[in-house]
């Protein structure tokens, strides 16, 4: 198990290296750079010398290979460079926003999983009854309603019903938990609905499959209480495929909430991403892509390890 884990962790290095090469060179294929955007975007008439001097300052005049090497060496020392727009360290730019995005993602996951498990289980156990139909309607709604639109509905109803809107500025949870939660619970709900729908449907279908397995019949033939048949014998097996979906959805939430962040006026990773791309802020884009790629890789690794924890066949084979 330990050897397997180490091997898997080491295998993430070439994957991330590949991502780094791709993002670095693809950014530079696109014409234009941050200096142009900064100095000439608004029709400003800046002389070529000034532009060249700026480029030199950011090392953009060096050959690409050298630039890449510099970036790599920096990352190896955990220095992700400085943003070419704000000239603040990339780490600093990302960290506050990541805190926000991560919190929304975690809250959405918790909401989704805690609702999805009972919802999916009920639907499977009462298959083809009104309960099942109700769950299916709710979940199909979650899949078809865009999160940002659902978010807008939430905001409008808060305004219409309570004449109240959540705070606009972000307070970290360790500063003021109440303020923090009253702000972030709404976007978490908005994206959690869709998330919950995906997971609930997964649990429903995998539970239905598991309930048809021979070992469920064996459990019933032993006279095991029906509750125990479901919770101990069926659900534990059915949750395995759901873990994959939960993990993948989670990673998506980290960087993929651009529009929802806009709706709730959150300064998260998604917004920062859009901003940095429109500014051609190479260093920041690279840093964020690497961050999100690393998230994907490690969440997937975590899923595989979780599988091994839940499924002895993987653990021992």
Partner 1 sequence: MNTAVLDKSSKTAASANALLQVDDLHVHFATSRGTVRAVEGLSFHVNPGEVVAIVGESGSGKSVSALSIMRLLPRLTAKIPHGRVMFNGRNLLDLPDEKMREIRGRDISMIFQEPMTSLNPILTIGLQIMEPLTIHMGMNEQQARARACELLTLVGITDPERRLEQYPHQFSGGMRQRVMIAIGLACNPKLVIADEPTTALDVTIQAQILELMKDLSRKLNIALIVITHNLGVVARYADRVIVMYAARMVEENVAENVFHKPRHPYSMGLLRSVPRLDRPRGSKLETIEGLPPNAAAFPPGCRFAPRCPYKIDICEQEPPLFPTDTGGLSRCHRHEEIAAGKIAWAASDSKSSGEMVASTEALLSVTNLTKHFSVHGGLRGESGIVRAVENVSFDIRPGETLGLVGESGCGKTTVGRLILRLENPTGGEIRFEGENLADATASEMKAIRRKIQVIFQDPYSSLNPRMTVGQIIGEPLHVYNLVPGRKEGEARVSQLLEQVGLRPEMAARYPHQLSGGQRQRVGIARALAMEPSFIVCDEAVSALDVSIQGQIINLLEDLQRRLGLAYLFIAHDLAVVRHISMRVVVMYFGRVMEIADRDTLYREPLHPYTKVLLDAAPVPDPSIEKGREPRLIEGELPSHLAPPTGCVFNTRCSMAIDECRKVVPKLEEKKPGHFAACIRV
Name which position in 233, 247, 261, 269 contacts partner 1 (CB under 8 A). Answer: 233
Distance linking the first and last C-alpha atoms of the chain:
10
Whether the CB-CB separation of 276 and 285 falls below 8 Å is answered with yes
Report the alpha-carbon distance of residue 128 to residue 144 in Å, rounded: 22
State the nearest-atom distance from the C-beta of 188 to partner 1, in Å.
Answer: 31
1 belongs to the binding site for partner 1 (CB under 8 A): yes
Give the residue with the Cβ less far from partner 1, 22 or 228.
228
Scanning residues 287 to 316, which ones bind partner 1 (CB under 8 A)?
Answer: 308, 310-316
State the nearest-atom distance from the C-beta of 3 to partner 1, in Å.
Answer: 6
Name which position in 185, 213, 252, 259 contacts partner 1 (CB under 8 A). Answer: 213
Give the residue with the Cβ less far from partner 1, 248 or 314.
314
236 belongs to the binding site for partner 1 (CB under 8 A): yes
State the nearest-atom distance from the C-beta of 237 to partner 1, in Å.
Answer: 6
State the nearest-atom distance from the C-beta of 311 to partner 1, in Å.
Answer: 6
227 belongs to the binding site for partner 1 (CB under 8 A): no
Give the residue with the Cβ less far from partner 1, 5 or 157.
5
3 belongs to the binding site for partner 1 (CB under 8 A): yes
State the nearest-atom distance from the C-beta of 113 to partner 1, in Å.
Answer: 19
Give the residue with the Cβ less far from partner 1, 77 or 222.
222
214 belongs to the binding site for partner 1 (CB under 8 A): yes
Binding site for partner 1 (CB under 8 A): 1, 3-4, 7, 127-128, 213-215, 217-226, 232-233, 236-237, 308, 310-317
């Amino acid at each position: 198990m330990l050897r397997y884990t180490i091997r898997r962790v080491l295998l993430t290095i070439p994957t991330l290296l590949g991502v780094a090469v791709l993002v670095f060179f693809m950014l530079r294929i696109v014409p234009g750079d941050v200096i142009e955007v900064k100095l000439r975007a608004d029709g400003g008439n800046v002389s070529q010398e000034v532009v060249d001097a700026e480029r030199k300052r950011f090392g953009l005049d060096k050959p690409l290979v050298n630039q890449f090497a510099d970036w790599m060496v920096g990352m190896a020392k955990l220095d992700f460079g400085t943003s070419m727009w704000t000239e603040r360290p990339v780490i600093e730019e990302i960290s506050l926003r990541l805190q926000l995005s991560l919190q929304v993602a975690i809250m959405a996951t918790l909401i989704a999983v805690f609702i999805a498990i009972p919802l999916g289980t009920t639907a499977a156990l009462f298959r083809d009854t009104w309960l099942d139909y109700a769950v299916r309607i709710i979940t199909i709604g979650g899949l078809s309603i865009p999160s940002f639109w659902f978010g807008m509905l939430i905001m409008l109803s808060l305004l219409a019903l309570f004449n109240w809107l959540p705070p606009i500025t972000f307070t970290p949870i360790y500063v003021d938990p109440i303020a923090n939660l009253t702000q972030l619970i709404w976007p978490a709900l908005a994206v959690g609905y869709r998330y919950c729908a995906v997971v609930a449907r997964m649990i429903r279908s995998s539970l239905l499959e598991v309930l048809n397995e021979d070992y469920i019949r064996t459990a019933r033939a032993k006279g095991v209480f029906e509750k125990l048949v479901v919770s101990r014998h069926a659900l534990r097996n059915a949750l395995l495929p759901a873990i994959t979906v939960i993990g993948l959805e989670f990673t998506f939430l980290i960087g993929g909430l651009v529009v929802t962040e806009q709706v709730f006026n959150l300064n998260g990773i998604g917004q920062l991403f859009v901003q940095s791309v429109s500014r051609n802020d190479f260093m920041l884009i690279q840093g964020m892509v690497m961050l999100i790629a690393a998230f994907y890789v490690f969440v997937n690794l975590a899923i595989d390890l979780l599988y091994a924890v839940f499924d002895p066949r993987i653990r021992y084979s």
